[in-house]
Amino acid sequence: YYFKVYQPAFLINCAAYTAVDRAEAEKDLAFQVNGEAVGVLAAICNEYGTKFLHISTDYVFDGTATTPYNEHAPTNPQSVYGASKLEGEKEAIHFNSESIIIRTSWVYSEFGRNFVKTMIKLMNEKDQLYVVNDQIGSPTYAADLADAIMQIISSGKWSPGIYHFSNEGVISWFDFAVAIRDLIGSNCKINPIPTTSYPTPAKRPSWSVLDNSKFITNYGISLRNWKTSLKICLDRMK
C-alpha cells in the first residue's frame, strides 16, 4: 500500500537486529529481521522500481585477515549476528539485482546505544576500565555514513553491488577508549586486556579493517579520519 501510494524513489534500510550477544540465543528472530525482512524489502523495491540501499557489517568476515577486506574477500561469519547479516545481503541481491549494499564497522553516534556513549557513561562512574586491545578495526561515525549515502543518491549514478565504508585509520577498542577519555578530559584509567579476558556469547572478529577504495573510486567521496569524526560527535553531544 505504502509503495503504491507514495512510490518512493529510494529505500535506505537501516533497520537491523544488532544485539550481537543476544542473537546467539535468539537466532530465529535475528534471521527474520536481518535476513528474511531484507528480502521482502528488496523484492517490493524491485516491483515498484524503488532503488534499494541496505546496510551490512564487517561481521560477515571471520576476522583472520591481516590486510583490509575488500568486497571480494571470502565471507565466513563467526556469530549468529554475522550469519544473519550475510543472509540479508544474499536476500537483497537475490530479490533485487540492482541493490546497493554498504558494509560498515564500529558504528557510533550521539544517538542510540553504542561504544562511545557507553564509554562516557562508564568513565563518569568508575575510576578504571578494562578494554580489549586485540580486536582491530576502524570506527565509523554514523553521520559520515549518512553523508556518504546521500552522496550516492545525489550523484545520479546508481552502481549496484557491495561497497565498504568506514572512517580512515586502524585502531583497537582500547585505543578508541583512550581517545574518548582524552577528548572528554576524564581521569579514568584505561587498562588494555586480551579478548580471552573478556568472554562474550558471540565471537567478535579480531580484524575488522575494511578496504574503502571501491567506494572512493566509484563515488569520489573523501574519508574523514576517525579521530576528526570522534571530535565532531563529542562536540555535538555537549
Cell digits of residue 66:
591481516
Q: What distance in Å separates the CA atoms of residue 109 and residue 37, rounded to the nearest whole number?
A: 25
Cβ contacts of 109-117, under 8 Å, gap ≥ 24: 109/141, 109/142, 109/143, 109/233, 110/233, 110/236, 110/237, 111/142, 115/139, 115/173, 115/176, 116/180, 116/230, 116/233, 116/234
Q: What distance in Å separates the CA atoms of residue 90 and residue 81, rounded to the nearest whole number?
A: 14
Please say whether the beta carbons of 70 and 18 come within 8 A.
no
Q: What distance in Å separates the CA atoms of residue 40 and residue 31, rounded to the nearest whole number?
A: 13
Catalytic residue among 59, 69, 81, 108: 81
Q: 171-172 and 136-137 as β-strands: parallel, antiparallel, unpaired?
A: antiparallel
Q: Exposed, middle or buried: residue 65 (CB in 10 Å: 0-12, 13-18, 19+)? A: middle
Question: Cell numbers 577519555 label which residue?
Answer: 181
Taking the CA atoms of the chain, what radius of gyration do you get in angstroms? 18
Is 81 among the catalytic positions? yes
| Residues with active-site annotation | 81
